[in-house]
Structure 1
Amino acid sequence: MPRLYLAGPMTGIPDYNYPLFNAMAERLRAKGFEVENPAENQAPACGSWAGYMRLALSQLMTCEVVAFLPNWEASRGARLEYQVAKELGLKICLVDDLLNPAVCKEAA
């Protein structure tokens, strides 16, 4: 299975959307994916959005697939992750599609 980066909205969401990130990471790992989950990162020393994004983008660079959570389009960070993934030619999927074996099968 390919290495997968989990992307989605965090800012402005209760608990930074960590419960959804963690639940989806668990489900994807159960399907055999090696998941890079930014919700599992330690806070950067600076505590800034840019610091969090630097951590996230370095994780994304180690992956072949980027899976997006619902409403990712409303997230400044997820839109940046999408642009980087697209420019690097990474496989881009919705997390719900990866959990459906009939969809996005080239990522599996």
Structure 2
Amino acid sequence: MLNDQIKTLYLTGPMRGIRYYNFPAFIEACEQLELKGYAVLCPASTDIAEGFNASKPEDELTTEDMERFIVRDVQMVIESDGVAVLPGFEKSKGAMVEVSLARFLDKPVYRYPDMVLMEDHINILGDSEDVLIEALKLTSGDRQNQYGPPDQDFARTAAMWSALKGVDFTTEEVAAFMICIKLSRNTHQSKRDNWVDMAGYSRCGDICRQEKEKHD
């Protein structure tokens, strides 16, 4: 069951390949969780609020559409205290990525509707343990030696992006956007390297968060 520290939940599950992108199931789950007192970050509700037509054929979704969804939903995972998964989430690439990201950020994952905690040892991505180990090694050794600590490397990137766009970017946002790039590439061609890099950028983002808290 959920602990008392969980206030905000991100809701994920299968969408594509299901009528109306499975919006009815998302909305029902969102309403039930809100009745229990949780703030719910629901991609389906957000889609509706943004004017998305659930009757739109999947083959009419553009690359720009998918990238926008990815950026938005990854940010919601990061902002949440935990993730709730709808039945059948295992068949959804997007939901699997979001669950993987939540786990790497040490956010609990619950199975809706019973809200039973998904055990950490349950392997949802096949060789995910090896992927995480490889990402840990890369972000602790090779790449850190090449580029310096993540908070310093990403601070330089954030400064350049801020100067280019006239908008202030944070080091954590740099990490989130890098994850989005990998998610977009993985949508075109699923490769192990993409999963490794997503895990690595997640760790870098958390390192940036820790460094920020030290100085706040």
Range into which the TM-score falls when normalised by the shorter chain: 0.7 to 0.9
Percent identity, please.
33
After TM superposition, the runs of 4+ consecutive aligned structure 1 residues lying more than 4 A away are none
1:30 aligns with 2:35: yes
- TM-score norm. by structure 1 comes to 0.84
Of Structure 1 and Structure 2, which has the larger fraction of its residues in strand? 1
Determine which of 55, 60, 79 is the counterpart of 2:77: 60
Superposed CA RMSD: 1.6
SS in 1 for 2:84: strand
- Residue type of the alignment partner of 1:58: Q
In structure 1, how many angstroms separate the alpha carbons of the residues matched to 2:37 and 2:79? Answer: 17
What is the match of residue 95 of structure 2? 78
The 8 Å contact of residues 85 and 110 in structure 2, kept in 1 or not, is answered as yes
In structure 2, how many angstroms separate the alpha carbons of the residues matched to 1:54 and 1:14? Answer: 24
SS in 2 for 1:61: helix
What is the match of residue 133 of structure 2? none
Of Structure 1 and Structure 2, which has the larger fraction of its residues in helix? 2
Structure 1 unaligned blocks of 5 or more? none
Count of aligned pairs: 98
- Residue type of the alignment partner of 1:89: D
What is the match of residue 108 of structure 2? 91
Larger radius of gyration: 2
Structure 2 unaligned blocks of 5 or more? 1-5, 53-61, 118-216
